[in-house]
A and B are shown apart, each in its own frame.
Chain A
Amino acid sequence: MIEMQSVYKTYPNGVTALNGIDVTIEQGEFVYVVGPSGAGKSTFIKLIFREEKPSKGSIIINNKDVPKMKWKDVPYLRRDIGVVYQDFKLLPKMTIYENVAFALEVIEETPKNIRKRVMEVLDLVGLKNKARFIPDELSGGEQQRVAIARAIVNHPKLLIADEPTGNLDPDTSWEIMKILEEVNASGTTVIMATHSKEIVNTVKKRVIAIEGGLIARDEHRGEYGYEI
C-alpha cells in the first residue's frame, strides 16, 4: 500500500531531512516510526499525504504516484488517509459533531448517513455525550479522541498518527492506543510516529527507526531502542 524508493528531502533552507529512504508497508500493518527529534520522522509522515513533496525518489500510495500528483488531485489522496496530529488540528469554532461531520461533508455523503456514521465513531471514542461541545471545552485527551474520530469516520485505508500521545498523560495515552489498535483490527493500516518507549515496548508492533534521514532499523515486534 505504501512504497517508497530512494526518497530524499532537502528543505529550501538547506536542511536535509531524508537521505534515501526505501520502505514498503502492507495493507493492515501497524507500524511505529521512532527516532530522535529532527531525524526525519515528521518529514517521512508528511510525504505520505503530500503535505511535503520529496526532492527525489518515488512514493506510491494506493497505486497513486504521490510526488507527480497535480494540486487538484491532492484532496482525493487525503480522503483515503486519516491523519491525527499532536496538536489535534480541530476547527475551533465548530462543535465536536461538526468537526467529525466535516470529513464526510467533503466527500458529499448524505445527511442521513453523516448523522449515523458520526454518532457511531463518537460512540467508539467514547464522546457521544459531548457532541455539542466545542473543542476548547474538552480536555487534551478528549480532543485527541475527536481527532481520531474525524480521521477514521470516512473509513480510510490508512491512518497516520504523528505523536498522538505526545501531549497526554500516561492513562490517556493508553486509551488512545486502545482506540488505534481497534482501528487497526478492522483492517486499517496504522502508522504512528512516537517518542513513547513504554508504548512501543509494551504493545509490540513493527518498528521503523529513522536516524539522520536514513532507516536505521526495521524490525517486526521491535523495541523502542533509545534511552529517554
Chain B
Amino acid sequence: MKFRTLKRHFNEGAKNIWRNGWMTVASVGAVTTTLVLVGAFLALMFNLNQIATNIEKDVEIKALVDLTADDAEIEVIESEINKISEISSVTFSSKEVELANLIESMGEEGNSWELFEQDNPLNDAYIIKTTDPLDTLAVAEQLEGIANIQEVNYGKDVVQNLFRFNELARNIGLGLIIGLIFTAIFLISNTIKITILARKREIGIMKLVGATNGFIRWPFFVEGLLLGVLGSIIPIVVIVSGYLYLINNVSALTQFTFIELLPFNPFAWQLSLIILSIGATIGVWGSVMSVRKFLKV
C-alpha cells in the first residue's frame, strides 16, 4: 500500500465519523458509559491490591533461638535458614537488640525493663521475610523443623485470614473487570453492527468497483479507533478528576492507618492510558469484526 493511500484511509475514516451522525453518537455513548465503569473499578482494584500488598509486605517471621544454644550451634541455625529458597532476607537480632527494641516500644514504662540489662531473659532471634508473602506458612513450618529453634512467631491466624481475604478481594475484582469489559465489547459491537448493516450495500458496491478487502477494511479500522478514542475522553476526565478529589479528601482521614492510596502522579496517568487503550481496542475490534462478514461479495 502506498503512503497516499494510507492517508486516504485516515481521511475517509475520519469523514465517516461525520457521515454517520447519530450512529457515531450512539457508539461513542456506549464506549463512554462502559469505560467510566471499567475505569472506576480499575482504580478501586489497583488501590485494594496496593493496600493488600502493603499489608503483606509487613508480614515477617521471628524465629527464636534456644537460650542454651552456643555460637557454633547458632551458626548452624543460620546456614540452615539460608538453605530455605523462598526467603528474601534474614536479619540476626541479638537478645540485647531485642531488649532495646522492647524498651523503646514500651515508652515511659520501658524504663523499668532496663533492670534486665544485666540478666537478659530474651532470646536471640532471626527476623525473616519471604520473597512471596504467601509462602509465610510453609517457611514457618520449615523453620520449626530446624534444631535449636525454640519458637517461630508470625501471628498465624491473622496472617492466614488476611491472605484469604486478599485473595478473595483480588479474584472478585478481576471477575468484575472481565465481566465489564465483555459487556462493553458486546454493547459496542452491537451498536457498530447496526451502523454496518446500514453499510452492507455500500461495502458490496465498493467491491464491485474493484476495491480489495484491505482497502475497504482500513477506513473502518480508523473509524473504530477514533470512536474508541472519542469514547474514552469523558471517562478519563471523570476518573482523573474524581481520583484527585478522593486523594485530597480521603488521605487526611487515613493518614495514620495502613490504608494508603496510590499517589495521583503517576497512577492517574497510567490509569488514563489504560482506559484509552481499552477504548481504542474495543473500538477497533468491534468495527473490524462487524465488517468482516460483508466482505465476501
Q: Hey, which bits of chain A sit against chain B, CB under 8 A?
A: 49, 51, 71-72, 75-79, 83, 89-93, 102-103, 105-108, 110-111, 150
Contact = CB atoms under 8 A, between A and B. Distances in A.
Given A93-B19, A111-B4, A106 B211 contact: yes
Given A71-B296, A91-B202, A92-B202, A103 B209 contact: yes
Given A91-B202, A92-B202, A93-B19, A102 B209 contact: yes
B208 A103 contact: no
Contacts of B164: none
B215 interface: yes
B207 interface: yes
Interface in B106-126: none
B33 interface: no
A197 to B, nearest CB: 29
Contacts of A150: 209
Interface string B145-175: 0000000000000000000000000000000
Contacts of B202: 91-93
13 contacts: A51-B297, A75-B207, A75-B211, A78-B207, A78-B210, A79-B210, A89-B205, A91-B205, A105-B5, A106-B206, A106-B212, A108-B5, A150-B209
Interface size class of B (residues with CB under 8 A): 10 to 19
B210 A75 contact: yes
B215 to A, nearest CB: 6
Contacts of A102: 206, 209, 211
Interface string B68-81: 00000000000000
B243 to A, nearest CB: 41
Interface string B193-216: 000000000100111111111010
Contacts of A75: 207, 210-212, 215
B208 A51 contact: yes
B57 interface: no
A76 B207 CA distance: 10
A66 B206 CA distance: 20
Given A105-B8, A108-B4, A91 B208 contact: no
A90 B4 CA distance: 24
Given A105-B8, A106-B212, A108-B4, 16 more contacts: A49-B208, A51-B208, A75-B207, A75-B211, A76-B210, A78-B209, A83-B208, A89-B208, A91-B205, A91-B206, A102-B206, A103-B209, A106-B209, A106-B211, A107-B210, A108-B2
Nearest to B1: A108
A49 B211 CA distance: 13
Given A90-B205, A91-B202, A92-B202, A106 B210 contact: yes
Most buried by B among A51, A103, A108, A111: A108
Contacts of B4: 108, 110-111
Most buried by B among A75, A77, A150: A75
Q: Return the 5 tightest CB-CB contacts between A and B, nearest first.
A: A78-B210, A79-B210, A93-B19, A75-B212, A106-B211
Contacts of B211: 75, 102, 106
B208 A106 contact: no
A78 B205 CA distance: 12
